[in-house]
Amino acid sequence: MFTPGPLSTAPLVRQALLKEYGSREPKFLEIVKGIRTNVLKVGGFSSDFDVVIMQGSGTMAVEAVVSTVVPKNGKILTICDGAYGKRIFEMTKVHQIPAVKLEFGEEDAIDIKKVEECLMSNEGITHLSVIHSETTTGKINDVGKLAKMIAKLPANKRPSIIVDAMSSFGGVDIDFQNEIDYLITSANKCIEGVPGFGLVIARKEAMKKSAGNARTLSLDFISQWKSMEETGQFRYTPPTHVLVGFSTALDLLQEEGGVKKRMERYKNNQKMLLEGMGMLGFKTLLDPSLQGHIITSFLYPEHKNWNWEKFYNKLYDRGFVLYPGKLTNKDCFRIGTIGALNKNNFTALLKTISEVKQEMGF
């Protein structure tokens, strides 16, 4: 699967899923404890932070944070430069959380100066949300630069920063650990596990201040944190098999050489993809300065014989799964370069795309 998650996983991860545990047995609780400890290490976070595991999709973990940490008298600035930033803004509407929406183009960089102006001109903004890897396009946002700007603002204009690092954590360098309060990711992205839970890496002091703000029961991640701290257990049924598989995925990440080596493999995957697709006549959406190495958007060819559905199905029938586009203003498809993939997989993909291209006559 050449997708940004769910993605291709290693045989050892899939094998680990076959082991059954009860949700309260000591061995399983040790696995959960190990996950929480190792995730902090992967991200380079200090002991000022802790990891809270939330059952469900990555989006549910994001909503858990948004609906729990913003106080009743608070307000959140949501930076929207793609579908996932807009999704956070939708969450604020559902939970009736006061919000300011700051939009940037899907193909544009976040203008740090405009963010600063928005924070200075709006009263009462307590939190700010931003997407690190916007998989709508494949863009990587400079969260480090944004966080450093915010750190220099007057205290009453300095919001708590929430980072959606869903598709970047474990596969992209993170250099903003000290400036943020919350980072959210999920099991089925760069750690190369399978879907079933999200992870919130949060500053302990920020979590303590957020107690009592929850607008839901099951998504109250502060109560989840307290339960994990006091008993080591989840409040409600955890995805046991998925957690065991994820623990194995963390081990494999370390065996590979950590985030640096995994990122190197992903970058090599993408370099090979870009060169091969370019030779086949496909054009990328983003300027290279904005392009991340997680997923790449390719513009539809301008040819009368091009048809996305036929192209997709022909590749699918040969065992290759691509990703449709998610842009609002341009027709694209996407190819992911993360997961248990290497140069052999991309050699096979590019060869097959060339064959399908000839068959379709474009």
**Residue ranges of the binding site:** 334
In DSSP terms, 29 is beta-bridged to none
Helix (H, G, I), strand (E, B) or coil at 178: helix
Are 57 and 195 contacting, i.e. CB atoms less than 8 angstroms apart? Answer: yes
Label residue 25 exposed, middle or buried (CB < 10 Å: 0-12, 13-18, 19+).
exposed
Q: Are 269 and 346 in contact (CB under 8 A)?
A: yes
Binding site for substrate, by residue number, is 334
The tokens describing 358, both together, are 């000839």
140: which 2 tokens?
């990587």
**What is the distance between the alpha carbons of residues 234 and 106, in angstroms, rounded to a whole number?**
38
Contact present, 201 and 42 (Cβ < 8 Å):
no
Closest C-alpha to 149, from 137, 140, 138, 161: 161
What's the chain's length in residues? 362
Answer yes or no: are the C-beta atoms of 251 and 328 closer than 8 Å.
Answer: no
Contact assessment for residue 110 and residue 146, using Cβ atoms and an 8 Å cutoff: yes
Token code pair at residue 92:
């604020």
Q: What span, in angstroms and rounded, lies between the C-alpha atoms of 232 and 238?
A: 12
